[in-house]
Chain A
Amino acid sequence: MSRIISVFTLVFSLFFAATNTAYAMHITEGILPIQWVLTWFAVSAPFVGIGVYHVKRKKRKMPSYLPLVGMLGAAVFVFSCFPIPVIALNGMATSHPCGTGLSAVLLGPFVSVLIAAIALLIQALFLAHGGLTTLGGNIFSMGILGSFSGYFAFKIAQRCRLPLFWCGFLAGMVSDLFTYLGTSIELGLLVIGKGGSFLKATAEIFGVFMMTSQGVLCIVEGIVVGFVLVFVYKRKPGILLQLGLTKDDTRPVQI
């Protein structure tokens, strides 16, 4: 088994090196069979629907909310394009953050799922990154798992009174980890009915993700999200207050 994983890792690494930019978190077009395409769309649709409801409800109270979500969505999309050199490949390839941890912290988990869905649609259409038939699956891993895990990690860290940097770090890292776990689960499920073990396949795929570039990337994304929040708090604390990340503007937050 270790030999298979070694070969898998070798090919995976060569793949990353060959493509120069590593995009491992999205399942590409044509990979998922029709039954899983429909399943993941059915799982993701209610979350996107609730996201739409949240935006509509807030828009009624505050008409400037829609442009705000659009701008922050665009900003998070651009943030997710930041090239981060992969240490494991000695900088031969770059990877990029998910961005869902940051968007979940800034906008809440449901709106973050909606933003992720739109970002994934744009990436599938204009960057050939992900796919239209795999959109549901990618929304599940990056949007739903990424957003909710990042949001709850941030909230738990805040409850534990951790400094803002560490709250951001945990949100970024946990959301990234769960995104890869989601992708691994989706790919692992494909072996069911083909004589393979789902748990074993999921663990192997997740292990390969972590062993190559993505394990380090989770930590890197956590650090960057932590720095982002600290920077925003230092420069414009009102933004975090308005978004509900900090409660009392008069009491300084531990950074």
Chain B
Amino acid sequence: MGFLNHTFSEVYARRNNWLTAVDVRVKLLYIVLLLAINLLTKNISIPVFFLSVSFGLLLMVKVPFTAILRSMLLPLSFAIFILLIRGLHEGEKVWLSLSFAGYKLVLKEEGLWNGLQTCSKVLGGISLVILLSFTTTISQLCAGLKWFHVPNTIVDLLALMYRYIFLFLDEVDTMWTAQKTRLGHTSWGKTLKSSGILGGMLVIRAFARAEQTYEAMHARGYEGGRILTARLPSWRKKEYIFVIGIIFVMSFLIYTRNMQVW
């Protein structure tokens, strides 16, 4: 479970730099609109542009290249998978033919081109999401979602779940190691039984912690209302310029027919 500790962390979002200082509402608006552009565009260069700009911005604020790559690894392998599948199945014109383990693999031009388009959209979209997650903390995100009138129950649950995931991960990690050292994972059957015990312990601990948390919240005056009360300041000139900027970009892309809206 160690991989989660590497990727699932706010360490970069907590840093002080110009990207983390950008208002969360602007970031959310940008990401949603850029994701829409990424989906609607017919031009392959736009997702590639998003990918390179996101990479560039993250490197500029000193997020290590390996950390970005680690986050991109799964979607990247997915993108390559799609490229291969479409290349193998779609089209007529042969681009490359080779033999692999007794199978004749034929990659076709049309399929590869379609695959490349989907591939670029996957990578472009994921890079935008990573840009948001590496520069925004969960508390900022919750405040931004509240401003966009996402129901309080969802925002409160998001904050609660996110807060306790790390705690439970640590507890599970400790129990997992303890089970391993006591030969609890030596066979497949034992792994299943140990996983069941671990899951059961998790439910029991979640229940106990929920009671403790409620008592602590009640002591602080919670009676079933909102948990998060943070409010964002009103927009400044800078934020208005950012929003006008993205509206201008979208209008330009629609006008130049790079985006297929209807």
Residues of A within 8 A of B (CB): 3-4, 6-8, 10-12, 15, 18-19, 21, 23, 28-34, 37, 48, 52, 55-56, 59-60, 63-64, 66-75, 77-79, 81-85, 87, 102, 106, 114-115, 117-119, 121-122, 124-129, 131-133, 220, 223-232, 235-236, 239
Contact = CB atoms under 8 A, between A and B. Distances in A.
Interface string B173-214: 000000000000000100111011111111111110111011
A79 B188 contact: no
A102 B203 CA distance: 10
Given A28-B75, A75-B168, A70 B161 contact: yes
Given A7-B88, A29-B122, A71 B157 contact: no
A169 to B, nearest CB: 11
B196 A224 contact: yes
Closest 8 A/B residue pairs (Cβ): A227-B196, A231-B200, A70-B160, A30-B121, A29-B125, A63-B224, A75-B206, A74-B164
A239 to B, nearest CB: 5
Interface string B127-159: 001101100000001000000000101101110
A196 to B, nearest CB: 10
B77 to A, nearest CB: 5
28 contacts: A7-B105, A19-B77, A23-B74, A28-B74, A30-B39, A31-B82, A31-B122, A48-B154, A52-B151, A63-B224, A70-B160, A71-B213, A78-B172, A79-B199, A83-B1, A87-B188, A114-B153, A117-B154, A118-B157, A121-B158, A122-B162, A127-B8, A128-B129, A128-B133, A129-B74, A133-B35, A227-B196, A236-B204
Given A119-B161, A224-B199, A71 B206 contact: yes
B200 A81 contact: no
B161 A114 contact: no
A151 B193 CA distance: 23
A190 B121 CA distance: 16
B93 interface: no
A245 B238 CA distance: 54
A133 B31 CA distance: 11
Interface in B1-45: 1, 3-4, 7-8, 31-32, 35-36, 38-40
A55 B152 CA distance: 11
Given A118-B161, A126-B7, A126-B133, A85 B191 contact: yes
B103 interface: yes
Contact of A66 (B82, B105, B153): B153
B58 interface: no
B182 to A, nearest CB: 16
Given A34-B39, A225-B199, 8 more contacts: A7-B105, A11-B88, A29-B122, A48-B154, A74-B164, A74-B206, A81-B1, A231-B200
A201 B16 CA distance: 49
Given A28-B126, A64-B210, A85-B191, A52 B161 contact: no
A227 B195 contact: yes
B133 A132 contact: no
B interface, over-half SS: helix
B196 to A, nearest CB: 2
Given A34-B40, A66-B153, A28 B122 contact: yes
A66 B156 contact: yes
Contacts of B59: none
A interface, over-half SS: helix
A68 B39 CA distance: 38
A131 B129 contact: yes
B223 A63 contact: yes
B129 A227 contact: no
Contact of A59 (B125, B172, B224): B224
Contacts of A7: 88, 103, 105
Contacts of A37: 39
B157 A73 contact: yes
Given A67-B214, A70-B164, A227-B192, A31 B118 contact: yes
B258 interface: no
B254 interface: no
Contacts of A125: 129, 132-133, 141
A114 B81 contact: no
B84 interface: yes
A37 B206 CA distance: 34
Contact of A131 (B126, B202, B207): B126
B252 interface: no
